[in-house]
Structure 1
Amino acid sequence: MTDFFDGLLSLEEDFYAEGHALGVADGETAGRTEGRIFGLEKGFEKFLELGRLQGRCAVWSARAELPAGAPTRIENARAQKNIQALALLLTNPPFKNDEESVEEVEETLKRGRAKAKVLERMLGEKEDVGDNARENDGSGEQNIEDLGRNTKTIADL
């Protein structure tokens, strides 16, 4: 014969087990959602930086192709080779979500940043890392974004 109070003696353990099971199920759902949001944020950051590097490379390429004598023309042959190498590096980044592709994007970013830094120094440009804080600091050096301000538009070049 079972005692009437046996269920009460295991009540705490039953509630604990039920709460644990509900927590695990809720954690799996929330973990997937949070993981996807985190992945989207990090992916956006990486590809934003890749796009920014591609934009700078496109501007440098356009400056290298200007007619001789243009004030912003890049005539340094070594700089032109570095621009071509950067453009080649930044073409067709992988859009897969596997470890190999993630590592490839990281390596592309690392090498692209290094090439951009070399080009900045070769061309006498300076870049401020702050968000939208690219201003001339009074040292006489200008960013690539500032070169065309208050002069001609790209269409005029």
Structure 2
Amino acid sequence: MDFDLESLVHVEQDFYDAGYTDGYEHGRIHGLIEGRALGREKGFEMWEELGFYEGLCKTWRSVLEMQGKQDSRATHHITHLLDLISKFPSVNPSQEDAETNANMDISRLLRLIRSRYKALCASLGIVPSLRATDAEGGSDEDAPTTTRKSVWKVNAAPKAEDMSF
């Protein structure tokens, strides 16, 4: 019987290398899918917040115009806030655009928008109503502490003894 012992010496490393390669490719595919889903979710959250700010600005701008107060401090804040919102990217950049816009700091721009929103609310005499979250998921230390009332009635979870399996 002709048996090659040399191939048995590296059998464990060969299986490890094959498993690592397969696992790496599998993780790369799933990481891409999960990254896109997370990006979609966070992008929606940011644009929901920015849409609120933009709607508030346009509403108050029309109210101030009807009252004839176009030269007020609030109008100044509204103009700058709408300008900052218009600078916020609304599409994913292509490879060429990403290289030219590499110095754009989205989190810094979002902080500027939030601070301008707070200044606008102060000049209008209204309480800021949205609770902003930072990129790490925690609450922003400068965010207002007011909370919105729930629209839906939340029922208490059933107790374990009430559940039958």
Aligned partners of 2:63, 2:103: CA distance in 1, in Å? 32
Matches for 1:78-117 after TM superposition, within 5 Å = 78-91=73-86, 93-94=88-89, 95-97=91-93, 98=98, 100=101, 103=104, 105-117=106-118
Matches for 1:137-148 after TM superposition, within 5 Å = none
TM-score, normalisation: structure 2 = 0.62
Aligned partners of 1:124, 1:59: CA distance in 2, in Å? 15
Question: Quick check: 1:127–1:134 contact (8 Å CA) kept in 2?
Answer: no
Aligned partners of 1:106, 1:55: CA distance in 2, in Å? 21
Aligned-partner residue type, residue 93 of structure 1: F
1:34 aligns with 2:34: yes
Distance 1:21 1:101, change over 3 A: closer
How many angstroms does 1:12 deviate by?
Answer: 2.2
Would you say how many aligned residue pairs link Structure 1 and Structure 2? 130
RMSD of aligned Cα (Å) = 3.1
**1:61-103 superposed Cα distances (whole Å, 9 cap, x missing partner):** 12112246xxxxx677122222122223223532233373783
Aligned partners of 1:134, 1:17: CA distance in 2, in Å? 54
Aligned to 1:120: 121
Specify the SS of the correspondent of 1:66. helix
Unmatched runs of 5 consecutive residues or more in structure 1: 69-73, 136-157
More deviation, 115-124/33-42? 33-42
More deviation, 3-12/118-127? 3-12
Aligned to 1:25: 25
Unmatched runs of 5 consecutive residues or more in structure 2: 133-145, 150-165
Identity %: 31
